[in-house]
């Protein structure tokens, strides 16, 4: 693995994918990254769905706004079951979405580490997706990850390098 901060700085939301297939061993490594993620009290309330067939990807893409979702040779969906998650006793904060986000983040970083591209897609019709795939019912879907090899003409968005200053983001006691 490269220096972690280099990975963090280099990774960008890839919205243009080539037609090249993603190898099965890379799909397995992405899944391993998600499965190995730490969750609150190790409850592991999340599930990962893998859409590989052309038919399933077309159906899934019909629920998302962006064309690059339909270009991806594989799409991952990540969701969490609130009933299985740890709940903080002081304020009843349910950690299902936090846990699913940790899993999704590890997957996203592994995708980049493998030389693949993706972006975290949150703009999709969750109800329509669950109608098409009843297996997703009972889970809060937090992200779709269309995954593939970046197209040669793909570039980061103009906003990719814009960051708030340390002073705006960090407060020290």
Question: What are the per-10-residue average pLDDT scores of the chain (173 residues)?
Answer: 75 80 98 97 96 95 90 96 97 97 96 92 96 97 95 72 86 90
- Tokens (6 digits) for 81: 């079951």
Return the pLDDT at 156. Answer: 67
Cβ distance 65 to 126 under 8 Å? no
Return the pLDDT at 13. Answer: 75
> Does domain 22-150 fall into CATH 3.40.50.970?
no
Helix and strand numbers, DSSP H then E, in the chain = 7, 3
Return the pLDDT at 17. Answer: 86
CA distance 130 to 127: 5
> How much is the pTM?
0.90
Count of beta carbons in the 10 Å neighbourhood of residue 23: 11
CA distance 173 to 166: 15
Return the pLDDT at 9. Answer: 77
The closest alpha carbon to 109, from 120, 100, 125, 96, belongs to 120
- The residue to which tokens 């669950």 are assigned: 130
Return the pLDDT at 157. Answer: 65
Hey, where are the domains in the chain? Answer: 22-150
């Amino acid at each position: 693995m490269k220096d972690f901060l280099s990975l963090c700085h280099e990774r960008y939301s890839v919205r243009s994918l080539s037609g090249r297939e993603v190898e099965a061993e890379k799909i397995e490594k992405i899944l391993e990254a998600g499965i190995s993620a730490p969750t609150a009290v190790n409850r592991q309330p999340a599930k990962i769905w893998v859409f590989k067939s052309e038919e399933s990807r077309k159906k899934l893409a019909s629920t998302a706004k962006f064309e690059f979702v339909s270009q991806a040779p594989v799409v991952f969906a990540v969701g969490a079951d609130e009933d299985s998650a740890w709940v903080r006793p002081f304020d009843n904060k349910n950690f299902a979405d936090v846990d699913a986000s940790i899993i999704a983040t590890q997957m996203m970083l592994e995708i980049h580490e493998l030389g693949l591209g993706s972006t975290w897609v949150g703009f999709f019709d969750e109800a329509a997706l669950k109608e098409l795939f009843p297996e997703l019912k009972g889970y809060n879907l937090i992200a779709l990850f269309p995954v593939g090899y970046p197209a040669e003409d793909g570039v980061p968005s103009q906003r990719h390098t814009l960051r708030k200053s340390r002073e705006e983001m960090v407060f020290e006691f």
